[in-house]
Amino acid sequence: MWRYLIPLGLFIVLVVFLSIGLKLDPRDVPSPLIDKPAPAFSLPELDKPQQHVSPANMKGKVWLLNVWASWCVSCRAEHPVLNALAQTGEVTLIGLNYKDTLTDAKQWLQQRGNPYSVIAFDQDGRVGIDWGVYGVPETFVIDKQGMIRYKHTGPVTRQALKDIILPLVRELKKEPA
């Protein structure tokens, strides 16, 4: 009896471990920046290079930072979702254009629409490094205190927006400034 049950038990344990492993996404690296202050930056605005974008200006508001680039293929997939989000006007969406060129970025927005209220132009990717960006697109949720509360790696899906990001935004809006 035992001589059959022991290998069977071991096999089941192995299957359980492997199936958990299959579900894990190795690309989803937990960010150490969660619940830490959003790294400060001051970058030129994409449309008006004389003006600067800085997270400090957003104190007291709940907002999203979306890191994108015209060379990023998955950004195309999430763009309609962001456009739809911008139309509801539920939360301020700020773009961080990461390691891109001005002309490419502008052309991309012209073709696909611009969901961002303002876009910071991070040409050399320095700010991206400060925010721990390793794969565009990435989306951060920042609360009224200027703390990063959530990070979404990869394209934002309607599902993720509806189930995780927007409920969190609504929660954070209730918090005192």
Partner 1 sequence: MSREWLVLAGLLVGLLSNTVLAGVEVHQFDNPAQEQQYKHLTNELRCLVCQNQNLADSNADLAQDLRQEIYEMIQQGKSNQEIIDFMVARYGDFVLYRPPVKSTTLFLWIGPFLILGIGIVILLFYIRGRRTSQEPALDTAQHERAQRLLQDEDEKQS
Residues 41-60 close enough to bind partner 1 by CB under 8 A: none
- CB of residue 69 to partner 1, shortest distance in Å: 10
Chain position carrying tokens 């009896």: 1
Residue 43: phi and psi, rounded to 5, are: -120, 150
For the window 108-147, what string marks contact with partner 1 as x by the rule CB under 8 A?
A: ----------------xx---xxxx-xx------------
Tell me whether residue 12 or residue 34 sits nearer to partner 1 (CB atom). 34
Contact region with partner 1 (CB under 8 A), list: 15-23, 30-38, 111-119, 141-149: 30-38
Closer to partner 1 by Cβ: residue 23 or 27: 27
Encoding tokens for residue 102? Answer: 């001005």
Structure tokens at 43: 């970058």
Contact with partner 1 (CB under 8 A): which of 8, 19, 21, 27?
Answer: 27
Query: Contact 34/149 with Cβ under 8 angstroms?
Result: yes
Question: Count residues contacting partner 1 (CB under 8 A)?
Answer: 16
Give the other-Cβ count within 10 Å of 125's Cβ. Answer: 16
Select 84 or 129, whichever has its Cβ closest to partner 1: 129
The tokens describing 131, both together, are 């925010």
Contact status, residue 111 vs residue 103, Cβ threshold 8 Å? no
